[in-house]
Amino acid sequence: MTTTKMRLGLLGGAAGVLCLSLGLNADPPRVSAEESSKRAKGEPAEKPDDKRVSVAVAKDRAKLMHGIYSATLDAMHHRYFRREGAVLPARAMEDVFADIDRQTGMKSRWIAVNTPAMSVNHEPETAFEKKAAAAIAEGKAEFEGVEKGSYLRAGAIPLGTGCVGCHTKLSTTTDKTSRFAGLVISIPVNDE
């Protein structure tokens, strides 16, 4: 089996595990006759608010998602990543994020914490992300808040020995400080 086929199989398997986990924790769908009719005509049946959950449910789901994403990333690094490979595991995970985001209405993204960003897309952008990056850099495992109709959770992603080599090669630092990235998960919530 080629390395590419193995990676595609892993991504498919990881997406399947994520979908199963989310499905097991999802509320049952509420489909009205009007929604069924819209679906039959090919019209969008759901409004963006239909995917909103309570803050308590959002917290639970974000912790679950963080655990799944973190474990998947770790497994990909240890079992499938080779320096000669074309796709880095964290980049491959972005494809998983996009698929899950489309299915759930949630948003997930990486942020740089105490190493240079590996992509301009990983720079903390919002006030929440900047505060979260600072909190994680200070040693907090997570940072959370509720803003503009969404529960936001940023969790620490420890950068292991294999990760730090690439993440710090752009930096001149040689200290032994523990290095982290952050995973930000945003879930629409009902107003409470």
Rounded distance, CA 153 to CA 7, Å? 28
Which tokens belong to 59?
């917290």
Record the pTM: 0.61
**For residue 34, pLDDT beyond 80:** no
The yes-or-no verdict on residue 17 having pLDDT over 60 is no
Mean pLDDT check: name the lowest of 6-10, 79-83, 101-105, 150-154.
6-10
* Cα–Cα separations (whole angstroms), residue 97 to 65, 149, 181: 10, 20, 16
Three-state secondary structure call for residue 30: coil
| Identity at 158, one-letter amino acid code | P
The sheet carrying 142-147 orders its strands as: 107-112, 180-188, 150-158, 142-147
The tens digit of pLDDT for each residue in 58-81 reads 998 998 888 888 877 776 776 666
Q: Give the rounded percent of residues in the chain with a pLDDT score beyond 90.
A: 29
- Terminal-to-terminal C-alpha distance of the chain: 52
- Quick check: 179 and 167 in contact, CB under 8 A? yes
Close Cβ partners of 102 (under 8 Å, ≥ 6 residues apart): none
pLDDT of residue 102 exceeding 60, the answer is: yes
Task: Give the ranges where the chain is alpha helix by DSSP (H).
Answer: 3-25, 33-40, 55-79, 89-104, 127-137, 161-167
Predicted confidence band of residue 138 (pLDDT cuts 50, 70, 90): very high
